[in-house]
Amino acid sequence: MKQTNDGPRPSAATRILPVAGRRVIVCSGTGCKANGSEAVYAAFVDAIEAAGAKVAVEFKHEGHQDGVPVTRSGCQGICSQAPLVTILPENILYMRVKPADVAEIVSATLGEGKVIDRLLYRKVDTGEACRGAQEIPFLHRQTHVVLRDVGTLDPENLDEYLRLGGYEAARKAFTSMTPEQICAEIGRSGLRGRGGGGFPTGRKWDAARQQPGAKKYVICNADEGDPGAFMNCSVMEGNPHSVIEGLMIAARAIGADEAYVYIRAEYPLAVRRMKKAV
């Protein structure tokens, strides 16, 4: 592959350690892309190949990995430090990574198992270095539910979503539940709207289900007009299939056979990933 950065390349002596579960995840959310993450991704491909190893652009959960997986993700949750790179299985999180840093990451971290201190997050109060999200106070206090797989899952890889159990809930809804049962289960789950009003989703779906009419639609309002809100954008960019699966379940619950997603034009990455997922 063509050299795409001006930084140093790993020396011919670099050998990448065979580590189970190895994966390099370059954040490819809007914040990181705007700060050059695509050049960082290309630099990883170059550097790994320069070290004599193969690059796998898809991660295989079964462990039959032919090459070092280098994948993209949605927002890893701390855009102020973009671009971010996560190295698995050690869960090392590097911040503000430049293409010129990549050869060192490949030779030191992938080649020798060493952590590069200067690329780690530092606690604001003590200056202490944090190896990964699990040590960063802003991140480790969060419990992700909707965003559970955002930041690790490759949003453009349907197989990965399926391997993580994706579309199983939709299968269940369509094959073994009635619309009434779905509305009741959603009601019991406590799920509410996330736009501020917090209206119970189960009640909303059940009201729509009971409306007369031969033709019904599901409309997903992903516009998030509130200032500074990016929750819808993060889901669509980081796990678009989860939005589609939710639409499928909602359609089954209310008896719709068509769905629309309203996305603002200022979210071109979300539009592209949703289109690809469809």
CB of 231 to ligand FES, least distance (A): 13
Q: Does 39 bind ligand FES (CB under 6 A)?
A: no
**Residue written as token pair 């009971």:** 210
Q: Does 97 bind ligand FES (CB under 6 A)?
A: no
- How far is residue 97's CA from residue 82's CA, in Å, rounded to a whole number? 7
CB of 75 to ligand FES, least distance (A): 3
* Length, in residues, of the chain: 278
**Residue written as token pair 């070092």:** 68
Question: Please, which residue, 82 or 208, has the CB nearer to ligand FES?
Answer: 82
Q: Does 27 bind ligand FES (CB under 6 A)?
A: yes
CB-based contacts of 75, cutoff 8 Å, min separation 6: 27, 29, 30, 31, 32, 150, 151, 230, 234, 237, 238
Residue 195 phi/psi, 5° resolution? Answer: -90, 0
**Token reading at 252:** 């089954």
Q: Does 93 bind ligand FES (CB under 6 A)?
A: no
Question: Please, which residue, 27 or 247, has the CB nearer to ligand FES?
Answer: 27
Question: Please, which residue, 29 or 166, has the CB nearer to ligand FES?
Answer: 29
Among 251, 235, 236, 234, smallest CA distance to 170 is for 251
Question: Please, which residue, 24 or 32, has the CB nearer to ligand FES?
Answer: 32
Binding ligand FES (rule: CB under 6 A), the pick from 43, 68, 79, 244 is 79
**Token reading at 58:** 């898809």
* Footprint of ligand FES (CB under 6 A): 27, 29-32, 75-79, 82, 84
